[in-house]
């Protein structure tokens, strides 16, 4: 019985410690306003380069016979906005969050055309 109680206590303490550390972690595919603000960058492109440059990565041609590239598309809120180059036109202080959706997640949320991923900008509301 003592052994059972000791094991139960170990599991309880370990579970609490694991739960506590996991709540402080940020989602790797979201850049929050606090992170944007503390980056010190003027535009959202520079923020992404500084914090999550992997969002901008060109994954190469989709196939050997196609000239299409596997690269993310920018969305402003729920609307397609344009290519990655358009990110530099957004002032960092105007963006509440940046969400990155990799290929499969982008296809599920936005449609088949977005297999290269989506960088979604959520604007701030004053």
Owning domain of residue 114 = 27-123
How many Cβ atoms are within 10 Å of 50's Cβ, its own excluded?
14
The reported pTM is 0.73
Report the number of distinct structural domains present in the chain.
1
Res 1: pLDDT: 60
Q: Is 6 among the domain residues? A: no
Rg (CA), the chain: 20
Res 89: pLDDT: 97
Question: For 91-114, how does the pLDDT look when each residue is reduced to its tens digit (9 = 90+)?
Answer: 999 999 999 999 899 999 999 889
Q: Is 7 among the domain residues? A: no
Question: For 47-86, how does the pLDDT look when each residue is reduced to its tens digit (9 = 90+)?
Answer: 999 999 999 987 655 555 544 457 899 999 999 999 999 9
Here the tokens at position 12 are 């309880």
Res 59: pLDDT: 62
Q: Is 21 among the domain residues? A: no
Q: Is 73 among the domain residues? A: yes
Here the tokens at position 27 are 């989602």
Phi then psi dihedrals of residue 73, to 5 deg: -115, 145
- Supply the CATH number for residue 76's domain: 2.170.130.10
């Amino acid at each position: 019985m003592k052994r059972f109680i000791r094991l139960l206590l170990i599991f309880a303490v370990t579970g609490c410690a694991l739960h506590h550390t996991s709540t402080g972690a940020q989602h790797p595919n979201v850049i929050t306003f606090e992170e944007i603000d503390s980056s010190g960058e003027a535009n959202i492109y520079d923020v992404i380069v500084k914090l999550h440059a992997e969002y901008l990565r060109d994954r190469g041609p989709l196939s050997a016979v196609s000239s299409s590239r596997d690269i993310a598309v920018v969305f402003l809120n729920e609307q397609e906005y344009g290519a990655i180059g358009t990110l530099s036109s957004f002032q960092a202080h105007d963006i509440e969050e940046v969400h990155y959706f990799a290929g499969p997640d982008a296809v599920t949320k936005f449609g088949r055309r977005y297999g290269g991923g989506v960088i979604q900008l959520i604007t701030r509301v004053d």
